[in-house]
Amino acid sequence: MEFDGALLVTEAWINGQQAGRHAGGFARFRFDVTNLLRQGDNTLVLRVDNAPDAAVAPLAGDYTLSGGLYRKVRLVATSDLHFDMLDYGGPGVYFKPYAISHETASLAWTARVRNDRDRSARAVVTTRLRDAGQRIVASARKTVELPPRSAVEIDLQAVLPAPHLWQGTSDPYLYTSEAELAEEGGAGASLRDRLSFAAGIRDIRLDPERGLLLNGASYRVHGVNVHQTSLPGKGIAASDADIDADYRILSELGVTGLRYAHYQHPQRGYDLSDRAGWLVWTELPLTAAVNGSDDFLANSTQQLRELVRQNSNHPSVMLWGLGNEIYQSDAASARVLAKLQQIAHEEDPSRPTAYANCCAPIDGPQASHTDAVASNVYFGWYDGQFADLGPFLDANRTRRPATALAISEYGAGASALQQEDPPRRPQPGGRWHPEQYQALYHEAAWPQLAARPWLWASFVWVGFDFASAGRNEGDTPGFNDKGLVSFDRTIRKDAYFWYQANWATQPMAYITSRRHALRTQAATQVKVYSNQASARLRLNGVDLGQRPVAGHIATWQVELAEGANRLQVSAGGAADSVEWTFRPAPPAR
């Protein structure tokens, strides 16, 4: 039985006998039910419990932990000789290219083969790499003896001359990796198992001076944090079509990377990132708090092995995140983070680890374990001023000159239902979060990040509004409204188009404050985001002239006519329009 995800602890019984127990809400897991099945009807009983468990991460966090079977469940039948399906939910075959250059790449596969028989067997493992035209460009073969009732690891090697590298969004080239398991016998070899998956060849390094290096060249990773797709009426039980729709919105935004908050995401997301050329930070659900017990450490280690083995074949995965905003600084947190760092490098020495630091010094104990460190900062929202971001980053660099640094979270809340122009600074925990303030926040933040190319990544918090049961702010209790897109995906807030103007290559123009449609002052500023050199505005058909787009913004001061007003902007091949109504405010009494 294969479960793609169930929150939080799952137990299964077949015909009254326990088939297995799994603790952890976000990874794929499997139970071998072969010996529990009988001819005819069988009874399956599942119990899934999302109650807090001191031994299971996450212990806390600013997001709602839903419960139940929210991803797919399936029955999988195999031969009694097969690639291992009980390897922490992994595929059983792992592709590990190394020594990568434009001239050559060394290819390695590790295959775990399981023999479920009571006698030994002789088998042949063959691996192949096919290019996009399905031509075999590299292969390896090895014959092995498989002891009874055991799993064996087989390593295979090949060399690929002139590899077509996976180059991020400009050229996310994918090969196909194949593996076959055949049993040798008197009549020749008989195929017992086969699997294939998309594979990319790329080299990723994090450098304190040059940022992220993709295949030796500096590569700017900018994007958003995303929780797994969650929608009204469905919650996190999202379909592949729902996930695809979210990723189309992100593609139109122009991201080059994503941070998967704060746990393993559905495989569909990793597959789409592979194809799009996006670089992914994927992480453990080690948020806010840790427990120093042996049971908690064992579960965290299990979830890390699941994360790595299920996702290491994805070229989009650039690193493993080991924790986020752990507020305690004690022996328990040090023990857990140090052990996870060790396990991560044992599991996958090819990728760095990272920690998302908040509310503690960049050189403090929590941020001292991983290879790279990023910061969660909200200057101008929770504390400080917009302009504090750049000096904060420079100070961090001074304190950690040998460490690759990034921004893992930055953002501000916004309700598309709340309009105030110009906006006053809102209370983060208050009920008034005008859309315009979020836009001003990001207009100030992004230039400070863009001016520091030594940052290896920056991620807006957050792509989509999401459920957070402990919050009571903005227009709806129980939600974090820092998304660039509304929870129901029907509204892309002004700040979304600010980033589209900065990141996307498709010509675009967007008139801001469009939902501030009822005006009480005739004199108003019209602000346009665009990635074109200049823009032209028309008000009620009257040409108000062309303006240069400076820093992706063009503005006009206009006088609205009483009643309906139509504004139209054109910029290069892009255009946008809005309608505002001007009704003079009644005189004060």
Q: Please state, in angstroms and rounded to a whole number, the distance separating the CA atoms of residues 155 and 436.
A: 56
In whole angstroms, give the CA distance from residue 581 to residue 573: 27
> How many other C-beta atoms are found inside a 10 Å radius of the C-beta of residue 118?
8
How many Cβ atoms sit within 10 Å of the Cβ of residue 35? 10
Catalytic residue chosen out of the listed positions 325, 409, 443, 473: 325
Quote the CA–CA distance of 583 and 565 in Å, as a whole number: 11
Task: Please say whether the beta carbons of 172 and 199 come within 8 A.
Answer: no
93-95 and 104-115 beta bridge pairing: antiparallel
C-alpha 170 chain-centroid distance: 19
Dist CA 164 CA 167 (whole Å):
9
Cis peptide before 206 (omega within 30 of 0): no
Bridge partner residues of 154 (DSSP): 111
Helices and strands: H and E segment counts in the chain = 7, 37
- CB neighbour class for 548 (10 Å; exposed up to 12, middle 13-18, buried from 19): exposed
325 annotated active-site: yes
CB neighbourhood size of 561 (10 A)? 12
Asked if 455 and 393 touch (Cβ cutoff 8 Å), the reply is: yes
**Residue 46 to residues 13, 16, 25, 53, 266: CA-CA distances in angstroms?**
7, 11, 15, 18, 21
Per residue, what are the HEC states of 223-234? EEEECCCCECCC
Look up residue 257 and give its amino acid: G
Which residues are bridge partners to 434 per DSSP? 415
**CA-based nearest residue to 297, from 12, 7, 23:** 23
- In angstroms, the CA 107 to CA 130 distance is 13
> What residues are annotated to the active site?
325
